[in-house]
């Protein structure tokens, strides 16, 4: 079986597909990846053929200040929507040639299902978080559609929010999607979001951390999170730092943008509580306030190996980082900015695994307060208890099911 795994987004969107690709390859399947060019070298080092799509996301227009999407004119929104759909139809069509199934991750996969229809092969949509998928039990995420959307009040009517979410998809992509479908001899769609998601989407999220909220209307398949097995050793410098005192606090914002002084705020919050700090540079190129020996700046690292040895993990709330910290039994502080990060912050708070920092840029005082709560022994004990129940077989479950899907006729 030959599988195309397709996504558009940052590392948090790409890495789960890489994890699934490695699992599929381990059981003898052929896999291709279609993702932004930022990840081509990484993918090919792992032996996964990749077709780059679009521009580098690392150098894309920033989101603005944390938690506040950039506001664009209607004309610019239309231009961006048309451009991404044109690119998707061209690039994914080439990448999918000869494939038996297409797996699309993230909500902006506008073209993949139509191309699967033309090719006569199955199509699977996967979300990494429940809140991506419509349900009256939760509000939509902060969508990365051109123009963005503001945070919604906690008491807002969720059905109305989802109706507005559906309309945003239709307004942004309906005309250009149906234009391409017409050129391929396909019937128009009147609900772009449902067309992308299908009526049986997969949910690649852990059932303990992120259960589907509606047993009366289940998703197609909840596999568990797709986490990479990373066998890289920690660097000698990092090992020396970890062995040099009490467990430090890890700080990282992944592939998010961040205020220039965020690294300094992080270190100051740790010092206010008498803690050492590890700061991950990430795409924001975070740095520290000085060269004192109580803090260390690191690059890419095996989170599973590191998180087992830290006192707490302070991060942006990406699905992968949240799950990795939970699996390691590390208490968390989540500083959410966009999309599903608000959901993960709320879940970590509700499960007693740490603190949800208010959205936006943290201050030394606000981060110190959240971290002080999270470093309580009771929170650490709760995190270690929950860790035992977090699944580790998400990619295996997905691969088994996908091999069955790939032998069926598309619905």
What are 231-239's contacts with CB under 8 Å, separation 24+? Answer: 231/302, 232/301, 232/302, 232/305, 233/302, 233/305, 234/301, 234/302, 234/305, 234/306, 235/298, 235/301, 237/296, 238/278, 238/296, 238/298, 238/301, 238/306
Q: How many domains does the chain have?
A: 2
pLDDT in tens, the chain (411 residues): 999 999 998 889 999 999 999 999 999 999 999 999 999 999 999 999 999 998 888 766 444 344 444 556 777 777 888 889 999 999 999 999 999 999 999 888 999 999 999 999 999 999 999 999 999 999 998 754 444 444 455 567 889 999 999 999 999 999 999 999 999 999 999 999 999 999 999 999 999 999 999 988 888 999 999 999 888 899 999 999 999 999 999 998 876 666 677 888 888 999 999 999 999 887 777 777 788 888 999 988 899 899 999 999 999 999 999 999 999 999 999 999 888 999 999 999 999 999 999 887 889 999 999 999 999 999 999 999 999 999 999 999 999 999 888 655 443
Which of 266, 273, 368 is CA-nearest to residue 316?
266
Q: What is the pLDDT of residue 181?
A: 96
Bridge partners of 32, per DSSP, are 4
User: pLDDT per residue over 169-227, tens digit each?
Assistant: 999 999 999 999 999 999 999 999 999 999 999 999 999 999 999 988 888 999 999 99
Query: Exposed, middle or buried by CB within 10 Å (0-12, 13-18, 19+), for 25?
Result: middle
Residue 85 lies in a domain: yes
Residue 364 lies in a domain: yes
Residue 380 and residue 240 share a domain: yes
Residue 212 and residue 72 share a domain: yes
Enter the tokens of residue 133: 């998928």
Residue 78 and residue 178 share a domain: yes
User: How large is the angle between the packed helices 158-183 and 74-95, nearest 10 degrees?
Assistant: 60
* Cβ–Cβ under 8 Å, residues 83 and 91: no
Residue 330 lies in a domain: yes
Distance, in Å, from the CA atom of 195 to the CA atom of 87, rounded to the nearest integer, reads: 19
DSSP string, 320-345: HHHHHHHHHT--EEE---SBTHHHHH
Strands 295-298 vs 312-315: parallel, antiparallel or unpaired = unpaired
Residue 221 and residue 257 share a domain: no
Which of 292, 106, 283, 296 is CA-nearest to residue 201?
106
Residue 410 lies in a domain: no
* Cβ–Cβ under 8 Å, residues 268 and 74: no
φ/ψ bin of 161: left (φ > 0), alpha (ψ from -120 to 50), beta (otherwise)? alpha
Residue 272 lies in a domain: yes
Residue 295 and residue 252 share a domain: yes
Q: What is the pLDDT of residue 67?
A: 43
Domain that holds residue 359: 236-387
* Cβ–Cβ under 8 Å, residues 167 and 140: no
Distance, in Å, from the CA atom of 36 to the CA atom of 53, rounded to the nearest integer, reads: 5
Residue 108 and residue 71 share a domain: yes
pTM of the model: 0.90
Residue 256 and residue 204 share a domain: no
**Tokens 């048309």, residue?**
82
Enter the tokens of residue 242: 């970890």
Strands 50-52 vs 101-105: parallel, antiparallel or unpaired = unpaired
Query: How many CA atoms lie less than 13 Å away from 51 in the CB half-sphere?
Result: 19
Q: What is the pLDDT of residue 287?
A: 76
User: pLDDT per residue over 265-289, tens digit each?
Assistant: 888 999 999 999 999 887 777 777 7
* Cβ–Cβ under 8 Å, residues 214 and 139: no
Enter the tokens of residue 268: 């100051």
Residue 282 and residue 149 share a domain: no
Residue 411 lies in a domain: no
Of the chain, the end-to-end C-alpha distance in Å amounts to 18
What sections of 1-50 are H helices per DSSP?
A: 11-26, 40-45
CA dihedral 391, 233, 261, 375 (to 10 degrees): 50
Query: What is the gyration radius of the CA atoms in the chain, in angstroms?
Result: 21
Residue 336 and residue 188 share a domain: no
Residue 397 lies in a domain: yes
Residue 267 and residue 178 share a domain: no
Q: What is the pLDDT of residue 63?
A: 41
Neighbours of 171 (CB within 10 A): 16
* Cβ–Cβ under 8 Å, residues 106 and 8: yes
SS3 74: helix
Which of 253, 225, 211, 199 is CA-nearest to residue 19?
225
Residue 185 and residue 288 share a domain: no
Residue 353 lies in a domain: yes
Q: What is the pLDDT of residue 66?
A: 45
Check which CATH number belongs to the domain holding 294 and give it. 3.40.50.2000
Residue 185 and residue 258 share a domain: no
DSSP string, 244-304: TSS--EEEE-TT----TTHHHHHHHHHHHTT--EEEE-TTTT---SS--TTEEEE-S--HH
């Amino acid at each position: 079986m030959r599988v195309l795994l397709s996504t558009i987004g940052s590392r948090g969107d790409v890495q789960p597909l890489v994890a699934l690709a490695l699992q599929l390859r381990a059981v003898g399947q052929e896999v291709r990846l279609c993702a932004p060019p930022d990840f081509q070298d990484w993918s090919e080092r792992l032996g996964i053929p990749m077709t780059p799509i679009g521009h580098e996301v690392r150098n894309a227009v920033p989101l603005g200040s944390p938690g506040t999407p950039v506001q664009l004119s209607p004309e610019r929104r239309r231009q961006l929507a048309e451009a991404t759909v044109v690119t998707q139809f061209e690039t994914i069509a080439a990448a999918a040639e000869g494939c038996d199934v297409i797996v699309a991750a993230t909500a902006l996969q506008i073209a993949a299902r139509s191309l699967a229809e033309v090719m006569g092969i199955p199509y699977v949509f996967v979300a990494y978080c429940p809140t991506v998928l419509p349900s009256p039990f939760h509000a939509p995420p902060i969508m990365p559609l051109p123009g963005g959307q503001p945070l919604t009040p906690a008491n807002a009517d969720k059905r109305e929010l989802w109706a507005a979410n559906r309309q945003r998809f239709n307004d942004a992509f309906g005309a250009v999607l149906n234009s391409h479908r017409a050129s391929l001899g396909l019937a128009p769609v009147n609900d772009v979001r449902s067309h992308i998601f299908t009526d049986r989407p997969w949910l690649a999220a852990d059932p303990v951390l992120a259960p589907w909220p509606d047993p009366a209307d289940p998703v197609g398949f909840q596999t568990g999170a797709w986490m990479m097995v990373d066998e890289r050793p920690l660097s000698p410098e990092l090992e020396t730092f970890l062995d040099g005192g009490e467990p430090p606090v890890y700080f990282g914002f992944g592939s998010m943008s961040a205020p220039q002084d965020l690294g300094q705020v992080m270190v100051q919050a740790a010092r206010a509580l008498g803690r050492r700090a590890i700061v991950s540079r990430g795409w924001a190129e975070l740095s520290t306030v000085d060269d004192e020996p109580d803090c260390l700046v690191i690059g890419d690292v095996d989170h599973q190996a590191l998180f087992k040895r830290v006192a707490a993990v302070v991060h942006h709330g990406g699905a992968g980082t949240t799950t990795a910290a939970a699996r390691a039994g590390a208490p968390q502080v989540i500083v959410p900015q966009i999309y599903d990060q608000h959901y993960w912050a709320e879940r970590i708070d509700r499960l007693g695994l740490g603190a949800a920092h208010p959205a936006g840029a943290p201050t030394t005082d606000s981060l110190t307060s959240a971290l002080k709560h999270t470093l309580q022994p009771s929170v650490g004990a709760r995190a270690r208890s929950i860790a035992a129940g977090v699944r580790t077989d998400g990619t295996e479950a997905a691969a088994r099911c996908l091999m069955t899907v790939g032998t069926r006729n598309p619905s």
